[in-house]
Copies of this chain bind each other. A is one copy, B any other.
């Protein structure tokens, strides 16, 4: 009798999301095969759906998903850090929104006991993105003033918490009044975007909106200020006043995680393990999960993400895994 393999996976076809049967992936050298308990949605998934964000080589071209949490079910050759049954979470180049996925062992982290599956599946992308931008790129220091724009989303809620944990004074701009109380609970002063732009100067600005938000916030940068652009939902093309940049001796930087090499992702992962996982265990960082959808509900989840105005993460649940290590 032939042993049939196959899994259910979110699949991009003709610019739409559907659920399809796909061959099980096979872990290569140094990789883990993981049964996916949760996989977060991200802005990059929306861009990939529109054909604007092609996945890197070696990644399933039509199965989206940049992060996951799940149980290890098999090891590729040379993978030694984890055992079958271990709970791991990881950034991946793609392919996370499926019942099974392969993960580079070097990019995998153990799931802290404090995180349930939806929280773990929504942790890697937003916390790695926010930590990389605030710490590795902007060098945020204790006592500095931080502005996070569009702070009610996934990266925003992660950035507010990291800023507070590092000892920064955090102002968060949130357009929808209904979402402000939840962000204020994380420790930020929350206000509308126009008011936040007038409350400078800020040592660091994490720009998650782009467009007019960027233009309004640049003059609010302090001397030596750093502005990291992570999202451009408000528009990618902006006017930049170079004299304002020079007079403030300011830096504007852009970043994406997805284009990084496996080595860089492994390095970023180690930083998250050392800097943030202890704070997760201590209950000082948490993943704000706004809505959870079964894998078959992926089309609804994408529509919900695209409609905006959400709080925190939207997470898919491909497999119902037992809770606990």
Contacts and interface: CB of A to CB of B under 8 A. Distances in A.
A185 interface: no
Interface string A268-292: 0000000000000000000000000
A239 B239 contact: yes
A229 B239 CA distance: 15
Contacts of A253: 245, 249-252
A58 interface: no
Given A237-B239, A239-B238, A241-B236, A255 B259 contact: no
Contact of A254 (B239, B245, B255, B260): B245
Nearest to A248: B254
Contact of A245 (B239, B242, B252, B260): B252
Interface residues of A, number: 29
A243 interface: yes
Contacts of A259: 223, 247, 249
Interface in A189-245: 210, 214, 223, 229-230, 232, 236-245
A26 interface: no
> By CB atoms of chain B within 10 A, which of A214, A230, A254 has the most?
A254
A248 B232 CA distance: 15
A141 to B, nearest CB: 17
Interface of A: 210, 214, 223, 229-230, 232, 236-256, 259-260
10 contacts: A236-B243, A237-B242, A238-B240, A240-B252, A245-B254, A247-B256, A248-B254, A250-B253, A251-B253, A252-B252
Given A223-B259, A239-B239, A245-B252, 4 more contacts: A210-B242, A230-B246, A251-B251, A251-B252
